[in-house]
Structure formats: C-alpha cells, structure tokens
Structure 1
Amino acid sequence: MLRTVRLLALAFLVLLAGAWGLAWFGREPGESIADAFLRRIAAITGTEMPAPSAGGIQLAQGVSLGGPFALVDHTGRTVTERDYAGRLMLIYFGYTYCPDVCPTELGTMAAALDAMGAAGERVTPVFITVDPERDTQAGMADYVSRFHPRLVGLRGSAEQTAQVARAFRVYYAKVQPRDTTEYLMDHSSFIYLVGPDGRVRSLFRPETPPESIAAAVAAQLRAL
C-alpha cells in the first residue's frame, strides 16, 4: 500500500514538473509563468481556466462584478449592457472635472488600445461619469473626443449612476474643499476589463502600464 502511495506521489510530481516545463516554453507573450502553468493544468485536467490577465487583478472565485445597466451615451442615445454584448469592453469610472487621475487613466486606456493595432478594434472603451450633476451630454462628448475616437461616454441619473456603481463596486463621493465653491469627486480608479457576457474579467490598478493592459486584453481576445 505504501509503495502504491509513493508511486502515485512520484507520478504526480512528474506531471507537475512536465506541466511547468510546458508552461515555461509555451507561454504566450506577456503571460506570466504562473498563469501559463495554471493554463496547462487546466488543459490536462479538462477544466475551464480564465484567460490570463497580464498586469491585471483576476477576481477571486465566486466574486462577480458588472451586470445590467441603462445609461445615455454622449450622442444622446439610451444604451444598455445588451448594446455591447459579444464584445470586450474597457470601462473607467470618473468625471470630466477630474484634475489628474482621470485624464491619466483614460490616456493609458487609449494607449493600450492603440498598442493592440487592428485587434483593438474588437474592444469598446467606455467612460462612465460619477458626476452626472455637472457632466452634461455636450460636456461628455467634448471630453471623450480628447482621448480616443472610439471612446464612449455614458451618464445617467443619480439613481442610475448609483446602480451601475454598485454593480461594479465603484466608490465615489462628493468632496467640498473649504477654499472654493467648486466640489471634487473622490472615487476609486480601476480600469475594468469586461467580457462579452457583461461580467468583469480583471481589474487594472492605477498607473498600470498600457503594455500590460494590452497584453491582458489580447489574451482575452484569443480565448474568445
């Protein structure tokens, strides 16, 4: 019995070593060795494995972000998540009066799409305002045009904004500085990679290089 257990353990170690070797030599561009290893194990065992998210944060098992929404785009058209079904999306939540982080992250998102070349055409970039009180349709149209020709600006009522923010677990709050009558919006600053099913596949922290985002999105496209 002990001999059988030892043989099974040895076979298991050999299997892991083989999978590690295959992962090392067969990993995709931009894919970490750990992601490649897990992909090989999934292939061997016949289980599903989410595409690697180079440079991104993969969601823990059982955690689901995203879902239904109804908002108005920068052209005045009412849209829902069904209008983008079957496509990947890169979504960022912010506001047009944002002095620093929003322009930086939207610029990063645009650079990532441009770095993908023709493949980037299969991804819809989206900017959702958390400040619908000031971000008018005209203001959104002007703002998104400064970053990328395909960037879609979405806005809604206060209730609609709160609903979509809850679905993506976005934090936002109005902040009133003492020395001015103008307010700011404090908000979380992740870029969301959303799959064709409308659910978030991975997140990108602020200041993630555009090359890392492009690699993650390309990996998801290959998995479709």
Structure 2
Amino acid sequence: MSLTLFRKILWVLAGFAALAFVWHLLWADRASDRTGIDSDPPFAAEFELTDHRGMVRTEDDFAGRWMLVFFGFSNCPDVCPTTLSEVAAVMEGLGDDAARVQPIFITIDPERDTPEVLAQYVPLFDAATIGLTGTPGQIAETSETFPIFYERIEEAAAPNGYTMGHTSHLFLFDPEAGFANSWPYGTRAEEILADLRKRI
C-alpha cells in the first residue's frame, strides 16, 4: 500500500470518527427531548435491580437520603463518563453532607454491563456511587417508571457491534424517592451543587 493511499484511509477513518462523535451528542439531546422528565403529575423512583456487588437493591434501601440517578452504559464514549465525573465533583463538594446523598448509575445495557463490569467501572468516578443492572425486562420496566428513553443502535465499530442512545439527564430524588429536579447533559457540577445545598 502506498503512503498516499494509507494517509487517505486514515483521513476517511478520522472523518467517520468525528461524525460518529457529533451524532452521538445530537442523539443524546434528541433522546432526552423524547422523555417526560418534567411530567405532571411528578413521578417517584421505583426499581428492583442488582448492584455492582451482587446485592438486590430497591429505592427503599436509600430512604432518608437524596438520590442522584443517572442512566447510561459503561461503553459510552463521552456523555456517561462526563456526567459521572460531574457527579463525583458534586459529592466531593458536599463535604460532610455527602452522606445525605446517594449517587446511583443505572445501566441501560444489561447485556454488557454485568455486576462484575460495573464493579470495575463505577469506582473509577466515585467510591460512593452504586452501579445497578438487571435483566433486560427489569431495565425496561425501570425506564418506564422514571421515565427515560434508550435504544440499541447497531454500529460496527463499537464494542460487540452496537452502542446505545439514551436520555442524558441527571435526576434528583428527595428522601422519600419523589422526583425533585433534573439537569441536562453539560450542566456543571457547581450548578448542581448549589441546587443541592439549598435543598439538604
């Protein structure tokens, strides 16, 4: 293969990668617009899922604490790690009040995100974060309760040949598991922290 042809192939691949990145960001925004996040009447957090230590968890396990809940998947290239990093910054900023808030990451990709995978993934951001997974049916039922949108998207270059489009909002639930607020993707930790401090 000539050097010129090799360079052309590299430029084409780079172009596809850039397009895929932009498309993913636009898809996340569009997916979040298709949810009823600001629905009336308000909704409550309800789930029965398995955490990254293999224990079954429900919303009752976190009664009395505020919950920061984000739906995503461990193979997410940008939205999920960015949001989880912001959550980690919020938890650090809370100081002694951090014990009053429980960050939770719920996968929308249970096929790949087993408890073992989540056990490796969630501690990368914050040790207090709990990763939750379950059967496809359990995840579907949970998504309807919150509600959030997600969809499998075939993509040859992604791990196992697919990626996920999903709601990119971060949810806040009060100590009775009632919906309190949500923030769209890109909201800075400082803004989330200021809101939390007023509430707790």
Task: Give the alignment's TM-score, normalised by structure 1.
Answer: 0.69
Q: CA deviation at 1:160?
A: 0.8
* 2:100 is aligned with 1:122: yes
Look up the match of 1:5: none
- For residue 77 of structure 1, the aligned residue among 44, 51, 55 is 55
Look up the match of 1:190: 169
Look up the match of 1:202: 181
Q: CA deviation at 1:169?
A: 1.3
Q: Percent identity?
A: 36
Q: How does 1:1-224 map to 2 (within 5 A)?
A: 59=38, 62-178=40-156, 182-221=161-200
In 2, are the aligned partners of 1:74 and 1:153 still within 8 Å (CA)? yes
Task: State the structure with more CA Rg.
Answer: 1
Look up the match of 1:42: none
Gaps of 5+ in 2: 1-36
In 2, are the aligned partners of 1:59 and 1:201 still within 8 Å (CA)? no
Q: What amino acid sits opposite 1:140 in the alignment?
A: L
In 1, are the aligned partners of 2:46 and 2:146 still within 8 Å (CA)? no
Gaps of 5+ in 1: 1-57
Is the deviation greater in 103-112 or in 172-181? 172-181
Q: Across the two proteins, how many residue pairs are aligned to each other? A: 163
Q: CA deviation at 1:118?
A: 1.1
Q: CA deviation at 1:178?
A: 4.8
**Structure 1 stretches of 4+ moved >4 Å:** 178-181
